[in-house]
Amino acid sequence: MKRRLKGVFVALTTPFAAEDVSVSRFQDNIRDYNTLGLGGYVVLGSTGECLSLTDAESEALVKASVQARGEGKLIIGGTGRESTRLTVDFTNRMADAGADAALIRPPSYFRTRMTPEALKMHYWTVADRVRVPVIIYNIPRNTGIAMDSGLVAGLAGHPNIIGLKDSSGDVSFIGETARRVPGDFCCLVGSGSVFLFGLELGAAGAILAVANAAPEICLRIFQAFQERRLEDARKLQSELIPLNKAVTETYGIAGLKYAQQRRGYHGGEARSPLLPLDDKARADIDSLLLKLNLREKP
Amino acid sequence: MKRRLKGVFVALTTPFAAEDVSVSRFQDNIRDYNTLGLGGYVVLGSTGECLSLTDAESEALVKASVQARGEGKLIIGGTGRESTRLTVDFTNRMADAGADAALIRPPSYFRTRMTPEALKMHYWTVADRVRVPVIIYNIPRNTGIAMDSGLVAGLAGHPNIIGLKDSSGDVSFIGETARRVPGDFCCLVGSGSVFLFGLELGAAGAILAVANAAPEICLRIFQAFQERRLEDARKLQSELIPLNKAVTETYGIAGLKYAQQRRGYHGGEARSPLLPLDDKARADIDSLLLKLNLREKP
Amino acid sequence: MKRRLKGVFVALTTPFAAEDVSVSRFQDNIRDYNTLGLGGYVVLGSTGECLSLTDAESEALVKASVQARGEGKLIIGGTGRESTRLTVDFTNRMADAGADAALIRPPSYFRTRMTPEALKMHYWTVADRVRVPVIIYNIPRNTGIAMDSGLVAGLAGHPNIIGLKDSSGDVSFIGETARRVPGDFCCLVGSGSVFLFGLELGAAGAILAVANAAPEICLRIFQAFQERRLEDARKLQSELIPLNKAVTETYGIAGLKYAQQRRGYHGGEARSPLLPLDDKARADIDSLLLKLNLREKP
Amino acid sequence: MKRRLKGVFVALTTPFAAEDVSVSRFQDNIRDYNTLGLGGYVVLGSTGECLSLTDAESEALVKASVQARGEGKLIIGGTGRESTRLTVDFTNRMADAGADAALIRPPSYFRTRMTPEALKMHYWTVADRVRVPVIIYNIPRNTGIAMDSGLVAGLAGHPNIIGLKDSSGDVSFIGETARRVPGDFCCLVGSGSVFLFGLELGAAGAILAVANAAPEICLRIFQAFQERRLEDARKLQSELIPLNKAVTETYGIAGLKYAQQRRGYHGGEARSPLLPLDDKARADIDSLLLKLNLREKP
């Protein structure tokens, strides 16, 4: 498994039709992405609006992704919940639905109580009790919890904890962590704006929201890095930043889905309480796609 | 309904036995509290570890509370979820289980996108579609979202939005809001440390975690205020602060459940990832109870 | 001294004329305030834009306030700086200029290093070396440092530390602190929105920005509380909140100075980088003053 | 000037002797650094404990640095103050003392009022009135203000604003900004943990605290990047992260000065309220220096 946690993974959006999950559009997207050389998919990630889905919808999406994925593509389920027990149960349910691994964010509602000790207990217990390998998810912007590399290094000692996704934006966290974990523990970059630098500091790959809209560029960065064409990699990384900021920070998931739609994938609206895009935002994203020469998917 | 949203409500803890929800202990507690003159109960609140419960457990708790409550006691369900649709569905399910009203925190995972406009859309749509009245819940410490009194005043125009619970700790938010809403919109204080002052600024009552452990003191504050014995009220409020801080901020729910247990109610452990109390914390809480002359319940 | 730290203190604004400090307008204001029954004045507070003043301007303001104050009015200088040594030197310079006491905010530029231990060392050393009594200043909104009542209680053991000003907005901090300090240690409320409640929890008085614009209302709250006319006090406190929010939070010092000007005191513009008010803000403040029946000073 | 804002700049510490500024030790350090190929020095930066220095001490340090610097080395003064006027006056005083350029952090005490509009007005006015070129300083960890690349791009239109130092840790901010400013506007990295990545995104160099203790490594990263030996650069960057975290985040300036001392430069203690290091911290830093093969300076 650890050997396969490498390359570019798309943190898939969840397409809706008339407010219901559209499994067929979701599978269409995956089939389109299958042709591109990606490592696999994250289903039920933050980008997938996992917190807006029912358990039944979640299960249907995991099953659909397993069915639609190309050969050799990993399916990683975002299965973190607010308690240890709920996380274990939901992770095992998604494992039964076919997920190959689980990406688990820390419980965060009681964030002031999520000491390193509490987080260690949580992840260790989860890893003991779930039937798929666990990837730790550091995403302070949404959880209010900034993990420490010492905590991750300690958790890396558990045989069922195989990796880290870091979306902090401070890429040195990956560098610091990569130096403290065993060689086969996989660090994955969670921000498209610093993907290349994570690779330079030892990351095995990335799980990226922007890859829904611009998978080719993400893949080209990875390939250029692999082939040590670092000038090419730098140029691509630099060019990707404005679009990545727009579809993650400035306009969020609604912006990402719009960009995805413009590329010829199924995007559509996000579920409420996320608001629809206004015209200025659309024009802004159109212009960013144009600058990157990203038109309809080939 | 609005006339009944008055007085002291306990934000009930959820007792566990061997990690499972103990409906019988939960009902024992309610039956004990029934004798005390409370306005009613919040089931599935933050204090009830609602985010650590399954939907089935949640439903069982609401049903159990309806069965056990004394005559005239309101059952308010904490039914906020991360999307508008999930909130509507879960609220209606809990309404069917018997909840009289719904206490709804704002979605917060995508907190940077929760603009006043997005929150207004969320609450307005929820209020349109649920079968019980809605109480807005402002709890910035946990959600990272500090509401504005203008937003609350706007939402108060919806016929199915009947009140606000404010746990910000800055009691002037209640004062500011109370001045901007219709007279029958109910403001409830969410922090035991400033209960009296909320009353002085127009609150109709409070929903309090500390009332699990010290319901008598909360009630005495309310009665003293009602009878305009303000010196008594002040003294009681001042005395309550150290215990309230201990069982909400310093030691959290584990501390509250310990205090509750010491009073002769069912407390017990919190669900992981909340950690158990250490000895120092227990001694500290023992000493605070002693100072308040709170021994076993009468 | 401690006996005199009682009642309402104005956190004086600093009037400018053509961008220079106008000592004469500053003294005019003080002479007007002298007639009102206030306890005294804070010169060089946050409201006085102390961080925008040179040392020479600061010294001139302290001297001017000493000269203009009415009999029995205390002059408290805001003398906190970013290092222990600078704080000692500046405090002693202001003491030499005539300040009776020093209000000292914590150093905050290196806020992550301002542990309780570092703060304790800082305040203790300052108190040892300055020639006037010290009042601790808790103002987390501006410093990013939320003090703990245990820290304040420890510092209250120093013979030259005589009080606390709390501008946290969470009035229970005063309640908690007042219970842990010797009876002659003075707690002063720093927010006009919760003044009365601080008094109810044991505060000796308040240092208020809003008192520049509405000193009569602040004084009436204090008198009503002293005379145990608590209904009157409540009503006044509730009425004061909207104006206080406007001139502290919503519009800040520029708003406060505009309100002050409308009352017939010298207000005028704030120093850059604070921006001037726009028309909407002016109309909003006009309307709030009108609601409070606050026209030109009598 | 812009052509010279290139390479590695040391954000110099300020050595004290018996609590007084030691100009001779400060000059010793500079003379040692002069031999190493650095671009120049920042005097009065955050690392130099500028907020703990008097104006006279500040002036003496600038003069001393001008005297001691090697040929071609730039002297950049950290001259930001809390008001526009104080910033102008202090900057001009330091310019008269010999500073070649000014590094100016935003006013931050009234951070909620520091809107993009207020910051634009501040920097523009400062740039109009000072006699040396201005470098904008983004350091959200200390100021609580996260600048926007649009703001910086707008300010880059002022002929006297020549660059940006970014210490946010999120290196994509430099990438985004570098794409929006004229080609001769210089972006400088402010964090040793992401130095290389800033260069890859278009930064001209860096101003680094860690360069006090490990200037050779910082220079080797820069040289390797210049010569496109990117594998070497990556390796060095990765190795530098643990020491950089220790002497900036974990132990702060006291840790940095200790590391500097161990390298044979003058370090010594920081001014109070910064606390001295304990033994564990010393051992930790010793071990980090050892791993990097950094012993006494050659």
The question of whether B280 is a catalytic residue gets the answer no
The helix/strand/coil state of A263 is: coil
Amino acid at D166: D
Instruction: Identify residues of B whose CB sits under 8 angstroms from chain C CBs.
Output: 169-172, 175-176, 178-179, 191, 193-194, 196-197, 200-202, 228, 230-231, 234, 237-238, 241-242, 244-245
Q: What is the mean pLDDT of chain B?
A: 97
Residues C221 and C232: beta-carbon distance below 8 Å: no
Percent of chain A with pLDDT over 90: 96
Residue pair B123/B91 in contact (Cβ under 8 Å)? The answer is no
Other CB atoms within a 10 A radius of the CB of residue A293 amount to: 9
- A298 has a pLDDT exceeding 70: no
Both structure tokens of D102: 């000014």
Three-state SS string over chain D comes to CHHHCCEEEEECCCCEECCEECHHHHHHHHHHHHCCCCCEEEECCHHHCHHHCCHHHHHHHHHHHHHHCCCCCEEEEECCCCCHHHHHHHHHHHHHHCCCEEEECCCCCCHHHCCHHHHHHHHHHHHHHCCCCEEEEECHHHHCCCCCHHHHHHHCCCCCEEEEEECCCCCHHHHHHHCCCCCCCEEEECCCCCHHHHHHCCCCEEEECHHHCCHHHHHHHHHHHHCCCHHHHHHHHHHHHHHHHHHHHHCHHHHHHHHHHHCCCCCCCCCCCCCCCCHHHHHHHHHHHHHCCCCCCC
Contacts of B139 in chain A (CB under 8 A): none
Phi, psi at A229, each rounded to 5°: -90, 75
Range list of β-strands (E), A98-191? 101-104, 134-138, 161-166, 186-189
- The one-letter amino acid code at A171 reads V
Residue A251, min C-alpha distance to chain D (Å): 15
Residues of B near A (Cβ–Cβ under 8 Å) read: 19, 46, 49, 51-54, 81-86, 89, 106-107, 109-115, 117-119, 121-122, 125, 141-142, 144, 249, 252-253, 271-275
In this model, does residue B2 exceed pLDDT 80? no
Q: B124 CB contacts (<8 Å, ≥6 apart)? A: B155, B158
Would you call B175 and C237 a contact, using CB atoms and an 8 Å cutoff? yes
Length of chain C counted residue by residue: 298
Residue of A46, A82, A118 with shortest CB distance to B51:
A82
Q: What pLDDT is recorded for position B18?
A: 86
Beta-carbon contacts of D23 under 8 Å, excluding residues fewer than 6 positions away, are: D60, D61, D64
Q: Decide: helix, strand or coil at residue A143.
A: helix
Tell whether the torsion through CA atoms of D9, D15, D21 and D24 is positive or negative: negative
Average pLDDT over residues B136-148: 96
Q: Which of C63, C165, C280, C297 is catalytic?
A: C165
- What pLDDT score does D298 carry? 62
Output the pLDDT for position B126.
Answer: 98
Residues of chain C neighbouring D118 (CB-CB closer than 8 A):
273-275
CA distances from D49 to C118, C230, D15, D140, D253 (A): 16, 50, 10, 17, 8
Query: SS3 of C137, please?
Result: strand
- Nearest CB among A171, A178, A230 relative to D171 is that of A171
Name the amino acid, one letter, at A15.
Answer: P
Q: What is the DSSP letter of C202?
A: T
Q: In chain C, what residues touch B176 (CB-CB under 8 Å)? A: 193, 241-242, 245
Q: Residue A245: what pLDDT?
A: 97
pLDDT of residue A21: 98
C45, two tokens: 């507070």
Angle at D256 between CA D250 and CA D261, to 5 degrees: 140
Q: Is the C-alpha dihedral spanning C47, C48, C52, C54 positive or negative?
A: negative
pLDDT tens digits along D133-180: 999 999 999 999 999 999 999 999 999 999 999 999 999 999 999 999
Q: Could you give the CA distance from residue A278 to residue C234 in angstroms, rounded to a whole number? A: 46
pLDDT (mean) for D120-127: 98
Compare A296 and B93 and report the one with higher pLDDT.
B93
User: B16 has which bridge partners?
Assistant: B21
What average pLDDT does range C157-168 have in this prediction?
98
Contact C241 B172 (CB under 8 A): yes
User: What's the confidence (pLDDT) of residue A139?
Assistant: 97
3-state helix, strand, coil in chain A (%, to 5): 50, 15, 35
Phi, psi of D139 (to 5 degrees): -145, 70
Closest partner residue to A85 (CB to CB) among B106, B107, B272 is B272
Please answer yes or no on whether D83 and C51 come within 8 Å at the CB atom.
Answer: yes
Alpha carbon A160 to its chain's center = 20
pLDDT for residue B296: 76
Pairwise CA distance, residues A72 & A74, whole Å? 6
Q: What percent of chain B has pLDDT over 90?
A: 96
3-state class of A78 per DSSP?
A: strand
Phi and psi angles of residue C182, each rounded to the nearest 5 degrees, phi first: -60, 155
| pTM as predicted | 0.97
Q: Which of A165, A235, A280, A291 is catalytic?
A: A165
The mean predicted confidence, pLDDT, of chain C is 97
Instruction: Tell how many helices (H) and how many strands (E) occur in chain C.
Output: 12, 10
List beta partners, residue A206: A8, A189
User: Kind and range of the H or E element at A75?
Assistant: strand A74-78
**N-to-C CA span, chain B:** 31
d(CA B205, CA A56): 39
* Cis previous bond, A273, omega within 30: yes
One-letter identity of residue C283: A
Going by pLDDT thresholds of 50, 70 and 90, the confidence category of residue C95 is: very high
Active-site positions of D read 165
Tens digits of residue pLDDT in B237-272:
999 999 999 999 999 999 999 999 999 999 999 999
pLDDT tens readout for residues D37-48: 999 999 999 999
Averaged pLDDT, A200-212: 98
The Cα of B273 is separated from the nearest Cα of chain A by a number of Å equal to: 5
Contact present, D85 and C52 (Cβ < 8 Å): yes
Distance separating alpha carbons of residues B162 and B187, to the nearest angstrom = 9
Instruction: Give the angle subtended at the CA of A98 by the CAs of A94 and A100, to the nearest 5°.
Output: 90
State the nearest Cα–Cα gap between B185 and chain C, in angstroms.
17
| Angle, vertex CA A81, rays to CA A78 and CA A84, nearest 5 | 120
Q: Answer whether D touches B (≥3 Cβ pairs < 8 Å).
A: no
- Check residue B298 and give its pLDDT: 63
Q: SS3 of A21, please?
A: strand
> What's the Cα-to-Cα distance from D130 to each of B266, C56, C297, D89, rounded to whole Å?
69, 21, 42, 8
Q: Are D187 and D212 in contact (CB under 8 A)?
A: no
The residues near A239 (Cβ < 8 Å, ≥ 6 apart) are A217, A291, A292
Mean pLDDT value of segment D243-253? 97
**So what's the ipTM on this one?**
0.97
What distance in Å separates the CA atoms of residue C158 and residue C104, rounded to the nearest whole number?
Answer: 15
| Segment D262-273, tens digit of pLDDT | 999 999 999 999
Place of tokens 């006013």: D107
**Binning pLDDT at 50, 70 and 90, where does residue C296 land?**
confident
Q: Give Dmax (Cα) for chain D.
A: 50
pLDDT digits (tens, 9 = 90+) for C108-117: 999 999 999 9
